[in-house]
Amino acid sequence: MKHSIENVSTSYIIRLILNDLETFITAGKRQLAPHQNPENLLMRS
């Protein structure tokens, strides 16, 4: 039981971190290349 709870919270934390990273990278790329479309970034990854 404890193991499954740890698994859920770990994957949830990883998902939050990846989400924050994606937001940060997208915002950074948007600042570096304002002419670039955010949809293009999503299709490339």
> In sequence order, what are the residues at sequence separation of 6 or more whose Cβ sits closer than 8 angstroms to the Cβ of residue 45?
22
Q: What local confidence, expressed as pLDDT, does residue 9 receive? A: 87
Helices (H), 1-45: 2-32, 38-44
Structure tokens at 32: 């570096």
Q: How big is the chain, counted in residues? A: 45
Confidence tier at 16 by pLDDT (50, 70, 90) = very high
Average pLDDT over residues 14-33: 85
* 17 pLDDT above the threshold of 90: yes
For 40, the domain range is 2-44
Q: What local confidence, expressed as pLDDT, does residue 43 receive? A: 58
Angle ∠(42,44,45) on CA atoms, nearest 5: 70
Count how many domains the chain has.
Answer: 1
Q: Report how far Cα 36 is from the mean position of its chain's Cα atoms.
A: 19
* 21 pLDDT above the threshold of 90: yes
Confidence tier at 33 by pLDDT (50, 70, 90) = low
